Amino acid sequence: MSAQVLKVQPLTRTAFAPFGQVIETKGVQPYRINRGTTARFDDLARLELAQDGGTPLVSIFRGQPFVPPVAIRMVERHPLGSQAFMPLSGRPYMVVVAPAQGDGRPGAPLAFLARGDQGVNYSRGTWHHPLLALEGESDFLVIDRGGSGDGSDDNLEEHSYPGEGFVVEEIWTL
């Protein structure tokens, strides 16, 4: 069986809502601080990091770029915590997530194209593909769960799709 083709859709708050939050200023009303010199777009992600004694961890991920066709053969999830990615490069990237089915296993994935000024926060337990940078090596600030009780296996589940899985054949430019 050949790979099923995945269409890529623009990343929007509404479309991504079942999987977590889009971290962006668009559509958010800021408030002024610092005597008016700074606009604060407040509280853009729902971090879930305290489960089982976890603590928030701040890291930088440097992703190698993927070039279409991009094969999507597996997804992973972190049952103990959320995971947020904010691009530092200004480059677009791809976000692939999958809804959990009744048995908890992932259904068919959805692919989103994120602009370089959009971050994402995967809700705790959300199936997603590992980082898919585009166009060039790209750094992301990552906020995820670390700390006590965090044997790495406890907070990572992987699922491989049968056969050839899925493929993103083309990515239009935003």
Q: What residue ranges bind a copy of itself (CB under 8 A)? A: 23-25, 30, 33-35, 37-45, 47, 49-50, 55-64, 66, 84, 86-88, 90, 117, 119, 121, 130-131, 139, 141-143, 146
Select 60 or 103, whichever has its Cβ closest to a copy of itself.
60
Select 101 or 174, whichever has its Cβ closest to a copy of itself.
174
117's CB contacts (< 8 A; 6+ apart) are 24, 25, 87, 90
Select 32 or 101, whichever has its Cβ closest to a copy of itself.
32
Q: What is the nearest approach in angstroms of a copy of itself to the Cβ of residue 36?
A: 8
Q: What is the nearest approach in angstroms of a copy of itself to the Cβ of residue 39?
A: 4
Q: What is the nearest approach in angstroms of a copy of itself to the Cβ of residue 140?
A: 9
Select 103 or 153, whichever has its Cβ closest to a copy of itself.
153
Radius of gyration of the chain (CA): 17
Q: What is the nearest approach in angstroms of a copy of itself to the Cβ of residue 129?
A: 9
97's CB contacts (< 8 A; 6+ apart) are 16, 19, 75, 109, 110, 112, 122, 126, 127, 128, 129
157's CB contacts (< 8 A; 6+ apart) are 76, 77, 78, 79
Select 6 or 23, whichever has its Cβ closest to a copy of itself.
23
Beta bridge partners, 70, equal: 168
Q: What is the nearest approach in angstroms of a copy of itself to the Cβ of residue 47?
A: 5
Task: Count the neighbouring beta carbons within 10 Å of the beta carbon of residue 49.
Answer: 19
